[in-house]
Structure 1
Amino acid sequence: MRLRVLNTVLMASVFSVGAANAADLIIYPEPMADYAADFVAPAVSGLNGKLELDLGYLTDPSSAVFRAAGSISAPVGDMFGLQGDLSVQSYEGDWSFGGAVHGFTRDPSSYLLGVTGGFVTSSESTLMAIGPEAELYLGQISLEAWAGWASIDYTDVLQPDLSGMFAIADLAYYATDDWRVSIGGSSILGENSLRLATEYQFAPEMGLGVSGEARWHDTGAVAAMVGLKGYIGEPGKSLIDRHRQDDPPNRALSLFSGASELIHDGAYCGEGEKYVLVDTDTYDCESISDIPK
């Protein structure tokens, strides 16, 4: 009798423990953090876009500057993304139009790597550029660069066409998730400039922000711009996440800003001078009498 009671107690205990464990598996699943340890977010979070409007002023020559631009980014599977850029600019009363296409792979927690081609065309010239584009994410710091080969063709037959290397780079710091400050520079076919910029997203739910930029050209010209940005996509996303999970910079704007004088004014030389290649990718004016026949 005692043995039968003991067996009954043991069997009841086993089934009770088993039922409890089964209930734990159903009611208390593993935390998501345990499953997300090796999770890599997609290169582009989803179909998204942005619009930009900028107004400013350039010295030497004195001119108001207007820019409007838009970008659309789309995922291609989880590992890749595509982006198209368009832009229109007014400088010294002359209008120019530009575009760019990005193809890239990205881990939003660490890097972006791809190839980008872009152009800007005006009544005086057409500038084209293509090369690798890369970004590196280090906490609140981002390193961004685009470099490669560029060429510019002028409509004036007396103005020599140019080709050579170009490079555009920025070092950015996110003081908060919605406020970015950056310093950068560009070298495009001999036109060099230094840039300081900032962007603040004041309404994350609506994707609205303001931006500002100051650029110093090696010719002595200085440009200052202020603008408004609107992001189209997931509402409530922080600025740093929009930059790393959605759209790379609009590179049509990068070309225009870094080579505005080259695009519209050309390589100006005085009477009796000619624009010539003096180094690997450096051009300068020299007296015609000094140029070897």
Structure 2
Amino acid sequence: MYRFLLGAAIAATATSAFAADAVAPIVMDQELARPHISGYVEAYLGGLYLSSDFGHENATTAGGAGRVNFPIDSRWNIQADAIVDSLWVQGDNLYGYGGAVHGYWRDPSAYALGGFATLNGYGGDFGGPKIYNFTVGPEAQVYMGNVTLYGQVYYGQLRASGESEHLDNWGGRAVVRYFAQDNLRFDGELGYSTISLGGEHLNTVSGALQAMYRFSGTPFSMFGRYQIDHLSVAGQSENIHKYVVGLRASFGSDTLLDEDRNGATMDTYRPNIILPFGG
């Protein structure tokens, strides 16, 4: 039987989209907009399928996130995130929870540049010591009309309470956000991370596709996301597929594109799982 710890995945991160012929004037309005507090909360429900050298497993998953952006002035911003993810497999509940802080300089018509730090904990019915990890690193976004390019790299450590040893974690991700309309966004994402396990390394290659639509004149958006994580270590591998649908409620923004260029635009990678446990 599999009992594995989920550091969780998904949670659509959204923004709106733009028709190409409408991009220029609206971006100009966004640049002149007065900075103000904005953000969103979202929740999702879905399923997870694990396929490994040892067999297969299905699970139900749910979770959510909240993000708030605080402008310091017309260019400097601080964003705070909170997340929770939960997994139910063979009667056991496993969960991840935590948050992130981003500090960055942003020109809504050109780019954003800054850094971030995360802290996450993991627990559930598997017993044993509490496990947590942190990451820090730089991040940047480039705005090109109705396309946003987003990149992050990070270093972190995975630790267990009461233990002096730790596992080093390096990784990065690249995201493309395409706005087909002002309230319709499509995402593509690729990522890689490695965790040092003594003389071995747990390597993860991830990919995700996401679509989000915001109902015009309302704060509500719907999204769907698929993510796959391919894990490999010591000649063994497994694939973890995650499918979710969710609902977002935004405040302080008029459209998804407005949210992307002037609001809570940053996020962080949330893996489908972190560590496999046998027993």
- TM-score, L = length of structure 2: 0.73
Determine whether 1:51 maps to 2:66: no
Pairs within 5 Å for 1:1-293: 41=31, 45-60=35-50, 61-92=57-88, 93-123=93-123, 124-155=130-161, 161-189=166-194, 190-203=203-216, 205-218=217-230, 219-234=238-253, 237-251=254-268, 254=269, 257-258=270-271, 260-262=272-274, 266=275
User: Which aligned segments of 4 or more residues in structure 1 are displaced greater than 4 angstroms?
Assistant: 267-270
Structure number with higher strand proportion? 2
Q: Tell me how large the CA RMSD over aligned residues is.
A: 2.5
Shift of 1:152: 1.0
- Alpha-carbon distance in structure 1 between the residues aligned to 2:160 and 2:191: 21
CA distance change for structure 1 residues 43 and 216 in 2, over 3 Å: closer, same or farther? farther
Aligned residue pairs total 221
Aligned CA distance change for structure 1 residues 188 and 155 (closer, same or farther; 3 Å): farther
- How far off its partner does 1:122 sit? 0.9
Change (3 A) 1:183 1:44: farther
CA–CA distance in structure 2, aligned partners of residues 149 and 107 of structure 1: 27
Letter in 1 for 2:171: F
Instruction: Give 1:111 deviation, angstroms.
Output: 0.5
Q: In structure 2, the residue corresponding to 1:241 is in which secondary structure?
A: helix
Work out whether residues 43 and 105 of structure 1, in 8 Å CA contact, stay in contact via their aligned partners in 2: no
TM-score normalised by length of structure 1: 0.69
Q: How many angstroms apart in 1 are the aligned matches of 2:34 and 2:101?
A: 15
Quote the offset at 1:161 in angstroms: 3.6
| Structure that is richer in helix per residue | 1
Displacement after TM superposition at 1:154 (Å): 3.3
Q: How high is the sequence identity, in percent, across the aligned residues?
A: 24
Letter in 1 for 2:159: D
Task: Find the aligned partners of 2:41 and 2:266 in 1 and give their Cα distance.
Answer: 12
Q: 1:223 to 1:156 in 2, by over 3 A?
A: farther
**Alpha-carbon displacement from aligned partner over 1:211-254 (angstroms, at most 9, x marks no partner):** 111011112221101110111114xx221111111112332xx2
- Contact 1:42–1:79 under 8 Å retained in 2: no
Distance 1:42 1:100 in 2: 28
Structure 2 distance, partners of 1:212, 1:79, is 32
- Secondary structure, counterpart of 2:258 in structure 1: helix
Looking at CA atoms only, which structure, 1 or 2, has the larger radius of gyration? 1
